[in-house]
Structure 1
Amino acid sequence: METPRKKADGSTTRTTTTKQAGDAAEGAALAHLQGQGLRLLTRNYRTPGRGGGEIDLVMREPGGTLVFVEVRQRASRDFGGAAASVSHFKQRRIIFAARHYLMRLPQQPPCRFDVVSVEPGGIQWLRGAFDAS
């Protein structure tokens, strides 16, 4: 939902919510990865219950590797930018969700954890941004 905001001259303008900005960044990341040949399997995979984790995009490379993707969006590159905002705690939650996702499969394919950062100036795809060890 857009939120009206008063400008200095008294008129109003609409601002984009954080959710809308996040959804747009996720859509841009998805289009970028699909353009690189990856196929979407699941979007916004969540583990059941509280305290679990979420994976923004679960994709498969043409060679069969399963790719768990965290999408991060920032308005500036200050403080290391979007990719630097994937903390150790956030990585643990993504890994937890990935393990839950993999339990449903009959056999475990090769896997990787990537981060796609969406910032002013473009999209950056970091393959193998972190691992499950």
Structure 2
Amino acid sequence: MRRLDSLSVRREGVPAHLATGEQGEREALFHLRRLGYTVVAQRWKTAKVWGDIDLVGWDGPTLCFVEVKARGARDGMTAESAVDRDKREMLRRMARAYLKGFPEKLRDNVSVRFDVVSVYLLPTGTEFEVYKGAFGW
């Protein structure tokens, strides 16, 4: 089924690497839900800050901002290594903007974490690596 999904996306003119990323985000969403996360936003963005957050969700009492990195193979660099300093800074700015939508009393007391999910879309099946608290503020 995954192969059919990726073929149909490619026919519509989406580059293969973007199709892999979109599929990886879908797979990560369902994986995190199986782990008990309550996902409240996908591809969250705001006009005030450049960028987006792949997934926002609650892991118990902790609000998690999740960056998803997907690969079609396990060769070369690991998927999570693509979350470099610039990407982390963008995610921090986005998280601050997201939190501005919270009432001040709640905003000051919410526990926040930045997670990274590596998704490997392999012929033998999908593999995940979840890095809770991959980086801080």
Fold conserved (TM > 0.5)? yes
Partner of 1:9: none
Residues 6-21 of structure 1: pairs in structure 2 closer than 5 A? 17-21=16-20
Instruction: Give 1:16 deviation, angstroms.
Output: 6.8
Out of 112, 125, 132, the residue aligned to residue 127 of structure 1 is 132
Residues 1-133 of structure 1: pairs in structure 2 closer than 5 A? 1-3=9-11, 17-49=16-48, 52-62=50-60, 64-106=61-103, 107-108=106-107, 109-119=110-120, 120=122, 122-132=127-137
Paired AA for residue 66 in structure 2:
V
Paired AA for residue 88 in structure 2:
Q
Instruction: Determine if contact 1:3/1:16 at 8 Å carries over to the other structure.
Output: no
State TM-score, norm by structure 2.
0.79
More helix by share: 2
Q: Which runs of 5+ in 2 are unaligned?
A: 1-8
Larger Rg: 1
Paired AA for residue 2 in structure 1:
R
Equivalenced residues, count: 121
Instruction: Give 1:61 deviation, angstroms.
Output: 1.4
Deviations 1:69-125 (A, max 9, x none): 000012233443100011100010011100000001012210000000012461100
Q: Which runs of 5+ in 1 are unaligned?
A: 5-14
Percent identical among aligned pairs is: 33
